A and B are shown apart, each in its own frame.
Chain A
Amino acid sequence: MLILKIVELGPVHGYGISQRIQRISKDALQVRQGSLYPALHRLEKRGWLKAEWGESDAGRQSKFYSLSTEGRRQLRRERESWERLAGAVGLILKTVE
């Protein structure tokens, strides 16, 4: 979901994604960088991400990932279910207090 959320902001390459993950999570999530790519490829294979080769700022060929329509839908679903879960957990915590 994190990846989908990041990619939602616009086409971005793998390095950019890893940078943003580190920045957003404020280094709380120490993911091995290498394991990002299998995840990206899996999402691409599921049709949630689109991948294109394009020119990057430095003037070289990079693979840019962007969210597909199906990916957008998936992100919404996951967000909803997360919010439901979070809400439910919040509710439980409140009741217990």
Chain B
Amino acid sequence: MPWKRKYEAQLDAELREHVERQAAEYVAQGMLPEEARRKALAEFGGVELAKEECRDVNAWRVVAPLGRDLKHAVRALRKSPVFALVAVLVLGFAIGANLTAFTWVDALFLRLLPVDKPDELVQIWSTNATGDQLNTFSKAIEVLRSEPMFSGTCAFEEVAQPTEIDGVMRTVVGEAMSWDCFRALGLRTQLGRVYTQAEDFRSEDRVIVLSDALWRDGFGADRGILGRQIRYGGAMYTVIGVMEPRFTGLNPGASIGLIVPVSQVPQFPEPAIRGPFNIWAYFLVRRATGVTLEQVRARLAVVGPRMLDEGAPPFYNAPQRRDYATRKIVAAPAGSGTDGKWFSRRFGAPLYAFWGICGLVLGVACVSLATLLVARGVARRKEIVVRLALGGSRLAISRLLAFEGALLVLGGAAIGAALARFANQFVAARASETFRLTFRAGLDLRAGLLLMGLVATVIAILSLVIAWQVRRFGNAGLSQNERGTTAAGTRSQKLLLGAQVALTLTLVCTGGLLAASIRHLYQLDLGIRTRDLFFAQLRTDPAPGGRRPENQYFAELRDRIQALPGVTGAAFSEVAPFWTFTHTERTSLLEGPAPEIDALAIAVDDPALGLLGIPILAGDGFRGFGVASSEPFAIVTRSLADRFGGDSVIGKHVRVANFLTMQRLRVVGISGNAQFGLANPEEREPPTVFVNFWEQSRRQAFSALLVKTAAGVSLSGNAVAGAVRSLGREYVGEFRTVDHAKDDALIENTALAFVSGGFGAFALVLAAAGLFGLLNYHVATRVPEIGVRMALGAEPSDLRWLVVREMLPIVAAGSAAGLVLAFAVGSTLSGVVYGIGAHDPALLAASAIALLATALLAAWVPAQRAVRIDPVEALRQE
């Protein structure tokens, strides 16, 4: 700061001149120079002091005292390291939790699409009669392209395919994008180019654009990558470009590896088509200048039917076309990512609940820190009052104390950021392992801003508490007796403790609620036996020239698996048990006037039901193994049979949606109810049609291999994978126990229960510590009184009561407020809580009792201390 240096120089010159002139005068009067100078200095009275006072008058008077305050604050905190440590840890924990929650909410729901002007984008999809958000056949985009209302259009869908990179097969998520996407979204390559309309064409010449992530991870950012051939799915693709780094995909939280033209999406088996090719896709359009979302919706109402008619898949038959035409075309803003994806449906409510709980924890941390500060304020009363008496302004003293608070908060923020980093890495690893999701959940600018906001808020709250307390002490003054200020201090401490008790009870209730919910979910009888049951997710290896696996292959595979040591049974199922992606189909009874039912349709083979422990209650199971009958047959669950007229359904026929092979299925048996999918755990005994695996060749791809072992056998995934690979047609995508699959299906509920339970315990400990501190202080200040009481013959129980009584109003008032708060929080949690009322009275009561028990525990030590007081010793103090 040059201005400061200049000021210092001038100040120095001015003061020195004064002294020199004075000295010169004395010399003129006949003094020796040395003596004259000493006398002049003495009369001046301290050059540095004068300088300091001058500086105070001037510009950086704001800055310099801050430096002094900082020094003071560091010194004060160093004197009480335990207080500082506890405060920093509590704050660090709370801030870290909030930061973590925000990072995930942001990554999944708030962050804007990584494209140009995302707020102008509108996403378009179609819904069926039940309102499910579905992708639409991509041919329909031609209707949108001719609309002047849109300045750009884009058809896209995520496509995961086995990809060979340097001879190693791995599944890479690609974004299939129509040729016009790049212009519509404003995307550019950092290397090479994007594909043209002429290249978005199905032929042998295929092109691909790599994402920045795959280019770096898979190819070491090799700039000579252009022109290289990559096997993606079953075909070879030529790399023509590398996308700019910002583009990570169109779904929130996605991290795609490559971009492939819609017409060149890998298919297995490869269709013999040369020309444009369509897939099931979602659409994005960019609104032209001045066009509103309402105008887009109005226009879609007009052109929507044309999109479904002209854009219907050419392979549809008449009933399928009719059904497709009943869909509705729907539009929504796409700024923060394309919606309707499974993970936002699945994780949305739990994540926001998690964030809310973290907010509560931060509240608890703030209040408990304020309590600590107040308690400390009571202890430092003398210092504060003396400072006030010496003329320190209230503002200056509050600032001094707030500085200590700010230091603690900054320490907490540092720990919090570190914790959040760790938590994010942990969750991200878990997410990619369990859900094949890759998130960029690093701490970025937005998280940094939130962190600063949190820090500012906490400092503001603490400063308010401090200013308020200093004001009280100021009013009480030094002359007043000590008890007045002490009482004022403990009164505010009690108030804060009450608030802390309220927030704690809320957290305990929430934790209890979610724990009860997860317990309920695990105790649900899903109708499936999971003991000693494993499953392997089978994936077709689409090697060029490969064939789709068929019945004979599956029969052979089954034999090989059954030959493995320890294996007692093997079976095939279209989906793995406890799948969370299942969706229902319109199912109707062909004979009789029964209503259409939304039912799951799952292809299983005969032993599958047996391995899963699903009993056949009436009729037969699938007769024979590997046999396709003249008339395809089905087994319905008890819940579906009951809606189709009970046992009389056997021998009748059902139709499932528009699936070609399911237009007339003869019902041969009724099975027990089983909850195969866990997309919605609340949906009990879902109506299900089990169709014959051997008769549904279209449903054999991506099937699950169920393996039952003898009790206690730990089946090796490598043995199963080896057996699958030995047949050369498929590979194992994942291998797990069915119990593990259930854990994963419920992971968001488990995590939420675990986290909120942990936070509840954390809050309980804090509240107990606060109460303990208060009561301990209470006993310490009343030693003489207790001594007198003892001398007068008070019973120990009376004395204990004396201590406990002090705490009861706090706990009672806090609990009352907490119950109200818990009631409110419970209402917002109804979406993530299963099998227990959000306002379960027993749970609320149990939480309150747990809190009271903790409070009594906290009171125990001070109470014992009161009892152990020696009356003689106590009276001597008086």
Measuring CB to CB, which residues of chain A are less than 8 angstroms from any residue of chain B?
Answer: 13-15, 18, 32-35, 37-38, 41-42, 45, 53, 60-63
Tell me whether A34 and B47 are in contact (CB under 8 A). yes
Chain B facing A: main interface SS: helix
Instruction: Kindly state the separation between the CA atoms of A18 and B45 in the bound complex, as whole angstroms.
Output: 13
Out of B50, B56, B57, which one reaches A34, CB within 8 Å?
A: B50
Q: Does B13 interact with chain A (Cβ within 8 Å)?
A: yes
Provided the pairs A33-B44, A38-B57 are in contact, do residues A61 and B50 lie with their beta carbons within 8 angstroms?
no
Query: For residue A13, which residues in chain B have a CB less than 8 angstroms away from its CB?
Result: 14, 17
Q: Does B10 interact with chain A (Cβ within 8 Å)?
A: yes
Q: Does B290 interact with chain A (Cβ within 8 Å)?
A: no
In the complex, 16 of the A-B residue pairs with CB atoms within 8 angstroms, ordered by the A residue number, are A13-B14, A13-B17, A14-B15, A14-B17, A15-B22, A32-B43, A34-B47, A35-B45, A35-B53, A38-B50, A41-B58, A45-B57, A45-B58, A61-B13, A62-B14, A63-B14
Closest-CB distance, B36 to chain A (whole angstroms): 14
Give residues 6-61 of B contacting A (CB, 8 Å).
10, 13-15, 17-18, 21-22, 43-47, 49-50, 53-54, 56-58
Tell me whether A34 and B49 are in contact (CB under 8 A). yes
Query: For residue B13, which residues in chain A have a CB less than 8 angstroms away from its CB?
Result: 61, 63
Query: For residue A32, which residues in chain B have a CB less than 8 angstroms away from its CB?
Result: 43-45
Query: For residue B44, which residues in chain A have a CB less than 8 angstroms away from its CB?
Result: 32-34
Tell me whether B57 and A62 are in contact (CB under 8 A). no
Tell me whether B56 and A38 are in contact (CB under 8 A). yes
Closest to A18 in B: B18
Measuring CB to CB, which residues of chain B are less than 8 angstroms from any residue of chain A?
Answer: 10, 13-15, 17-18, 21-22, 43-47, 49-50, 53-54, 56-58
Interface centre among B14, B15, B44 (most CB of A within 10 A): B14
Q: Which 7 A-B pairs have the closest CB atoms?
A: A34-B50, A38-B53, A32-B45, A34-B45, A41-B57, A15-B21, A33-B44
Instruction: Kindly state the separation between the CA atoms of A33 and B20 in the bound complex, as whole angstroms.
Output: 13
Tell me whether B58 and A37 are in contact (CB under 8 A). no
Query: For residue B54, which residues in chain A have a CB less than 8 angstroms away from its CB?
Result: 37-38, 41
Interface centre among A14, A38, A62 (most CB of B within 10 A): A38
Tell me whether B45 and A33 are in contact (CB under 8 A). yes
Tell me whether A63 and B50 are in contact (CB under 8 A). no
Instruction: Kindly state the separation between the CA atoms of A75 and B10 in the bound complex, as whole angstroms.
Output: 27
Tell me whether B46 and A34 are in contact (CB under 8 A). yes
Tell me whether B53 and A37 are in contact (CB under 8 A). yes
Beyond A14-B18, A34-B15, A38-B54, 10 additional contacts (C-beta under 8 Å) are A15-B17, A32-B43, A32-B44, A34-B49, A34-B50, A37-B18, A42-B57, A45-B58, A60-B17, A63-B13
Closest to A30 in B: B43
Closest to A34 in B: B50
Out of B10, B53, B56, which one reaches A63, CB within 8 Å?
A: B10
Closest to B53 in A: A38
Closest-CB distance, A30 to chain B (whole angstroms): 10
Instruction: Kindly state the separation between the CA atoms of A38 and B45 in the bound complex, as whole angstroms.
Output: 13
Instruction: Kindly state the separation between the CA atoms of A33 and B21 in the bound complex, as whole angstroms.
Output: 13
Out of A38, A42, A62, which one reaches B17, CB within 8 Å?
A: A62
Query: For residue B14, which residues in chain A have a CB less than 8 angstroms away from its CB?
Result: 13-14, 37, 62-63
Closest to B56 in A: A38
Closest-CB distance, B40 to chain A (whole angstroms): 9
Closest to A63 in B: B14
Query: For residue B49, which residues in chain A have a CB less than 8 angstroms away from its CB?
Result: 34
Instruction: Kindly state the separation between the CA atoms of A60 and B16 in the bound complex, as whole angstroms.
Output: 12
Query: For residue B10, which residues in chain A have a CB less than 8 angstroms away from its CB?
Result: 53, 63
Instruction: Kindly state the separation between the CA atoms of A32 and B50 in the bound complex, as whole angstroms.
Output: 10
Query: For residue A38, which residues in chain B have a CB less than 8 angstroms away from its CB?
Result: 50, 53-54, 56-57
Query: For residue A14, which residues in chain B have a CB less than 8 angstroms away from its CB?
Result: 14-15, 17-18
Out of B18, B53, B58, which one reaches A15, CB within 8 Å?
A: B18
Query: For residue B58, which residues in chain A have a CB less than 8 angstroms away from its CB?
Result: 41, 45
Out of A33, A41, A53, which one reaches B18, CB within 8 Å?
A: A33
Query: For residue A41, which residues in chain B have a CB less than 8 angstroms away from its CB?
Result: 54, 57-58
Tell me whether A37 and B45 are in contact (CB under 8 A). no
Closest to A32 in B: B45
Interface centre among A33, A41, A45 (most CB of B within 10 A): A33
Closest-CB distance, A50 to chain B (whole angstroms): 15
Query: For residue A34, which residues in chain B have a CB less than 8 angstroms away from its CB?
Result: 15, 44-47, 49-50
Instruction: Kindly state the separation between the CA atoms of A13 and B13 in the bound complex, as whole angstroms.
Output: 12
Instruction: Kindly state the separation between the CA atoms of A53 and B10 in the bound complex, as whole angstroms.
Output: 9
Out of A33, A53, A61, which one reaches B43, CB within 8 Å?
A: A33
Query: For residue A45, which residues in chain B have a CB less than 8 angstroms away from its CB?
Result: 57-58
Closest to B24 in A: A58
Closest to B48 in A: A34
Instruction: Kindly state the separation between the CA atoms of A74 and B200 in the bound complex, as whole angstroms.
Output: 85
Query: For residue B45, which residues in chain A have a CB less than 8 angstroms away from its CB?
Result: 32-35
Query: For residue B47, which residues in chain A have a CB less than 8 angstroms away from its CB?
Result: 34
Instruction: Kindly state the separation between the CA atoms of A53 and B45 in the bound complex, as whole angstroms.
Output: 24
Query: For residue B46, which residues in chain A have a CB less than 8 angstroms away from its CB?
Result: 34
Query: For residue A18, which residues in chain B have a CB less than 8 angstroms away from its CB?
Result: 18
Closest-CB distance, B18 to chain A (whole angstroms): 5
Instruction: Kindly state the separation between the CA atoms of A61 and B57 in the bound complex, as whole angstroms.
Output: 23
Query: For residue A33, which residues in chain B have a CB less than 8 angstroms away from its CB?
Result: 18, 22, 43-45
Instruction: Kindly state the separation between the CA atoms of A81 and B57 in the bound complex, as whole angstroms.
Output: 26
Instruction: Kindly state the separation between the CA atoms of A70 and B47 in the bound complex, as whole angstroms.
Output: 30
Instruction: Kindly state the separation between the CA atoms of A37 and B22 in the bound complex, as whole angstroms.
Output: 15
Closest-CB distance, B700 to chain A (whole angstroms): 89
Query: For residue A53, which residues in chain B have a CB less than 8 angstroms away from its CB?
Result: 10
Instruction: Kindly state the separation between the CA atoms of A14 and B56 in the bound complex, as whole angstroms.
Output: 18
Closest-CB distance, B867 to chain A (whole angstroms): 60
